[in-house]
Chains A and B, each alone.
Chain A
């Protein structure tokens, strides 16, 4: 089993005028915010100074919008891309000179990459030509064991084109796991599947991962999936790490405006601090005064976020009148979108009125401060 470490990993494509600027990476796990120098050049830097550690046996997710560098990070770990700067190490040893075939990683790609001219059994057994099956098992036994693990026993002689999308995905997983790799890398393995199937495969994946205890790096653009699956996750944007932490930390304490907006259902407000009233700051947001907890005493301007679910009709403080425009029925609640003071607002209510007017408030302690000046 393996601990994976990336130190100062950057990747540039082509040559561009690279200028140094300050980027901030906060690792909530250690509680230290570290200021690091990152290089940036519009469009040419795929990764900028990525530092992260994936612990032995951990399910770690890289999440971010398309083009944020999460797949490049995964490919750098697998050895398909060489970092321009920085090192990747497995258990403390740099793998810079190790070609992909000798890294002992299992990879499942978005498109699965099944070999169409081989049967399911031949696909799963392919890696066993190069690496001994674990525990002295024969290759055939190992293939059968893996097919059993992913609930595809008896499918040995099918060819990939005879399988459904979900089955193909499980064959790809079995194939990656067959040689008992030190590390499992998954690149958006669910994105080609429909929602219902995705959920059942998700459960199966976490079951298999925790049973094998294999260190896993999972790449997705779906923040819900990332929060649901991971022990810890990293949110990426523009080739940088925005925040690393447990799902709970990322959800409740977003470190940056980007994380707050990306991890969903947050209302972000920008305002000027007018004064402090004990623990609470009086913040002027577009002419209205809102009470916010947790603002440092010396701050003059502040950005903070409030979760949609924290906006409630019953709250006594910070009452705002929202002009609702659209709403979506979500079963247990209705998610409604509207405007207040020219700022977009999302709320989650049990029901909305026809005329679209709605007054909600939030408790000062439900506001989470993102940036201060």
Chain B
């Protein structure tokens, strides 16, 4: 046999082998990427926390756990966990000193609107950094649930023009860049913000909202993000309540209210709980919003970790990161357990009927309708206000219309020194990284879906492992990449494994983004009739061919939606980008926004507006291409 013939047979064999083993190969490649780019960097961070000059130690942990700066009063408990009597004694003393009072307050400075206020007077407790982080997360969760539930009620029970669009839009805040939202809130509530301009028109103010009560603004900004999430989950649960079950309860003698309490509420509660839990996790790990609106005076764990990294104190940063990750992992695990228990949640055979919101003028004036409109107004201010303020704020200063902010950006672009942050490279980087992220994250996400959907019990384990990025904060991941891959690892034989600059950023974005691809694709893939793939195989298609011919075309819309998410996550990613891009030229638009935030907020607001335009434009493009934001 000639060499050529032998080679061609080898080639045929190789391609046949590849076709038969394409899936395992792709799965292994994905696993390799995850190990090198996710588990290894995170592992580096963790080892940092457990090592001191190469010797294993728990010293970092005892230092942090017993430091009242981090854990407040709990630090004493961690310091002497066995002195139960002492701790209980101080708890009892503290409880005894709590008093509740009813007062009248004037919450809006300078305006005489009295509001009855239940004051819970507690003797000062030192919360510590973790305590404060949990406290603001709890407040944010309360606010998100309080704002999200009425929205869910309206979306699930009333029919009105634009309801479906509105329901789809509830996913939008989730993918808006955090730093942009923060700047939007600044543009609305700041000293020269739109709210003060409006109040000024009626002769009030200006008030320093952000300066006097930054926590309230941060909590509102968190609600901006998470209330739609709560609403989204609750609406889904509400619409899956079978109207027949309510009718059955009514025919068995339950009043409308009673049927709601006994039949509907138990089916909504898990969804509300999930929403609250996820909100708590997200706001516990909050970073850009607090960094931009509160700064170090409102430092959460994440912000403090970032600060430690800036000061090159990696061991302390890593220790804090581990404690934070353990907390959020625990909550995430609880959530995943719940989600798998809810897997049977399907669309109801007969969903509850929807009332017309505006059948006639008389109904429109009923108390319930008026309450709906009142809520709508509040929601409009909260959700549209900051974005509108962002745009308005970029064109105005304290006195009126101006193009000064954009002129600043242009000038910086044309005349800025190379070490200065310029707008065009930021836009270019954001778009390039976005596309590159999409190209990496979509195949990864699809492969993970394939493995998890078809693999039964092992699949669930893979699912949990692959969802780690959701639980590890961007800042932790950023340090890991920085220390593990950007600084490089020495390999035997004098080689060095190093991933730097743009590649490192794309990796960080792709790892953060692929879970969203998986979350979009898995439900659709899982609902496909297995008989289709088996039919294709019985007809002669290899497994990989069946994937290509049958499954991929059928989940195409979910993949496009996942791609939209991946792109949006990349455009908005701030936490790890700000670490990886520090000092370099690979800054993205969110990083540029943060760098422009200085004494004058104008340039940052203008940059934020550009980010808004780019984000909105990419959503329009993706929508045209055929994406859908619905799960």
* Min distance, Cβ B20 to any Cβ of chain A, angstroms: 7
Say yes or no for A106: interface residue by CB 8 A criterion. Answer: yes
**Residues of chain B within 8 A of A130, CB atoms compared:** 539-541
CB contacts between A and B, total, < 8 Å: 73
Say yes or no for B413: interface residue by CB 8 A criterion. Answer: no
Bound Cα distance A176, B542 (Å): 16
Say yes or no for B537: interface residue by CB 8 A criterion. Answer: yes
B534 contacts A114, CB within 8 Å?
A: no
B538 contacts A78, CB within 8 Å?
A: yes
Say yes or no for A283: interface residue by CB 8 A criterion. Answer: no
Say yes or no for B554: interface residue by CB 8 A criterion. Answer: yes
**Residues of chain A within 8 A of B538, CB atoms compared:** 78, 100-101, 103, 105-107, 176, 185
**Residues of chain A within 8 A of B84, CB atoms compared:** none
Bound Cα distance A101, B536 (Å): 8
A101 contacts B534, CB within 8 Å?
A: no
A101 contacts B542, CB within 8 Å?
A: yes
Secondary structure of the A contact surface, majority rule: loop
Say yes or no for A112: interface residue by CB 8 A criterion. Answer: yes
B541 contacts A115, CB within 8 Å?
A: no
User: Could you list some 10 contacts between A and B, CB below 8 A?
Assistant: A99-B542, A100-B538, A101-B537, A101-B542, A103-B538, A109-B531, A111-B531, A115-B549, A116-B554, A175-B535
Say yes or no for B204: interface residue by CB 8 A criterion. Answer: no
Say yes or no for B532: interface residue by CB 8 A criterion. Answer: yes
B536 contacts A126, CB within 8 Å?
A: yes
Say yes or no for A80: interface residue by CB 8 A criterion. Answer: yes
A113 contacts B553, CB within 8 Å?
A: no
B20 contacts A99, CB within 8 Å?
A: yes
Say yes or no for B529: interface residue by CB 8 A criterion. Answer: yes
* Min distance, Cβ B456 to any Cβ of chain A, angstroms: 10
**Residues of chain B within 8 A of A100, CB atoms compared:** 534, 537-538
* Min distance, Cβ B59 to any Cβ of chain A, angstroms: 45
Knowing that A113-B532, A113-B533, A117-B554 are A-B contacts, what are 16 other residue pairs whose CB atoms are under 8 Å apart, sorted by A's residue number?
A99-B542, A100-B537, A101-B537, A101-B542, A102-B540, A107-B538, A111-B529, A111-B531, A113-B529, A114-B532, A115-B549, A126-B536, A129-B541, A131-B540, A175-B535, A185-B538
Bound Cα distance A124, B542 (Å): 17
Say yes or no for B364: interface residue by CB 8 A criterion. Answer: no
Say yes or no for B617: interface residue by CB 8 A criterion. Answer: no
**Residues of chain A within 8 A of B20, CB atoms compared:** 99
Say yes or no for A327: interface residue by CB 8 A criterion. Answer: no
* Min distance, Cβ A102 to any Cβ of chain B, angstroms: 8
**In residues 62-118 of chain A, which contact B (Cβ within 8 Å)?**
78-80, 99-103, 105-107, 109-117
Pick the contact of B535 from A102, A113, A116 — CB < 8 Å?
A: A113
**Residues of chain B within 8 A of A239, CB atoms compared:** none
Say yes or no for B216: interface residue by CB 8 A criterion. Answer: no
A107 contacts B534, CB within 8 Å?
A: yes
**Residues of chain B within 8 A of A111, CB atoms compared:** 529, 531
**In residues 170-199 of chain A, which contact B (Cβ within 8 Å)?**
172, 175-176, 178-179, 185
B535 contacts A179, CB within 8 Å?
A: no
Task: Indicate the member of B534, B540, B541 with the most A CB atoms within 10 Å.
Answer: B540
Bound Cα distance A334, B529 (Å): 42
**Residues of chain A within 8 A of B198, CB atoms compared:** none
Bound Cα distance A71, B542 (Å): 22
Say yes or no for A127: interface residue by CB 8 A criterion. Answer: yes
B540 contacts A101, CB within 8 Å?
A: yes
Say yes or no for B550: interface residue by CB 8 A criterion. Answer: yes
**Residues of chain B within 8 A of A114, CB atoms compared:** 532, 535
Bound Cα distance A113, B537 (Å): 11
Q: Name the CB-closest residue of A to B539.
A: A127
**Residues of chain A within 8 A of B545, CB atoms compared:** 101
Pick the contact of B540 from A113, A172, A179, A185 — CB < 8 Å?
A: A179
Q: Name the CB-closest residue of A to B556.
A: A117
Pick the contact of A80 from B534, B542, B549 — CB < 8 Å?
A: B534
Contact flags B541-574 to A (C-beta < 8 A → 1, else 0):
1100100011001100000000000000000000
Q: Name the CB-closest residue of B to A103.
A: B538
6 pairs of A and B residues whose beta carbons are closest in the complex? A130-B540, A113-B531, A127-B539, A109-B531, A113-B535, A107-B538
Given contacts A99-B20, A100-B534, A117-B553, contact A175 B539 (CB under 8 A): yes
**Residues of chain A within 8 A of B529, CB atoms compared:** 111, 113
**Residues of chain A within 8 A of B550, CB atoms compared:** 115
A109 contacts B541, CB within 8 Å?
A: no
* Min distance, Cβ B24 to any Cβ of chain A, angstroms: 13
* Min distance, Cβ A77 to any Cβ of chain B, angstroms: 11
Bound Cα distance A127, B542 (Å): 11
B539 contacts A113, CB within 8 Å?
A: no
Bound Cα distance A116, B536 (Å): 13
**In residues 510-548 of chain B, which contact A (Cβ within 8 Å)?**
529-542, 545
Q: Name the CB-closest residue of B to A181.
A: B538
**Residues of chain B within 8 A of A115, CB atoms compared:** 532, 535-536, 549-550
Q: Name the CB-closest residue of B to A110.
A: B531
Pick the contact of B539 from A99, A112, A179 — CB < 8 Å?
A: A179
Bound Cα distance A79, B550 (Å): 19
* Min distance, Cβ B3 to any Cβ of chain A, angstroms: 29
**Residues of chain A within 8 A of B536, CB atoms compared:** 115, 126
